Amino acid sequence: MSAKARIPESLPTADAAPEKTFAQRCAYLTVIPEFNAAGIAEVFSIQDKPDYLELMRELVKHGNAIVLDDTQGIERMLSAQAHALDSMFANLARRSNCQDNPESLETFLKLALKAQSQCRATLETLATIKHPPQLAFVHQANIAHGPQQVNNGQPQLVARAEENANPPNELMGNDHGERLDFGTTRTAGACDPVMATVGSLDGTAHDAREGYSES
């Protein structure tokens, strides 16, 4: 169970540490995001000049909601921005039609298309927040030809027994090198008298030189 995000109890101000010097208090406020955002929002506000402290309080409330994974404020903001950008696109596109100078026409068309592109990007961001993509972790093992296995991009050596390139034929049995027994001796036939069976031969009675006559 994940721990909840910590929300500041109160908005920090420059007077929170009176013992600090003026330079230290300025540096302390400069790194507060709500302080900087309030200054920018005050400059570009379409209403009368808002109260600076109240503006910071509102920004802190919106920031705390985001920290707690409440994205309703962001979704509403992006939706409003998309509509505003679409209005800018329509206004600039209409004004481009009233230009007689080709350079002015091109400038207004470029600004209109930029507003349209930003509107599309804003809507894509909103869609991603509403429907975040599902991440799929696929475990894949790729076996190489050599003695190596690649598992999820990290090579790992695999112990393999050395195999004989020419394994012995299993028909020869366990004793390698023995000849195969093809059965009993074939009998001679009329069509092949040369293959007649040879009888037993006594070496002493039949001299190898028998039948040799000296001249």
Mean pLDDT computed over 6-13: 56
Cα torsion at 39, 40, 46, 48 (round to 10°)?
A: 10
Q: Residue 188: is its pLDDT beyond 60?
A: no
Predicted pLDDT at 13: 57
Among the residue ranges 10-14, 57-61, 122-126, the one predicted with the least confidence is 10-14
86-126: pLDDT as tens digits: 999 999 999 999 999 999 999 999 999 999 999 999 999 99
Q: Are 28 and 20 in contact (CB under 8 A)?
A: yes
What pTM was computed for the model? 0.51
- Secondary structure in 3-state letters for 100-135: CCHHHHHHHHHHHHHHHHHHHHHHHHHHHHHCCCCC
- For the chain, the structural domain boundaries read 9-70, 71-132
The most confident of the ranges 6-15, 24-33, 146-155, 177-186 is 24-33
Give dist(CA 77, CA 37) in Å, integer: 15
Instruction: Give burial (CB, 10 Å; 0-12/13-18/19+) of 60.
Output: buried
Predicted pLDDT at 46: 83
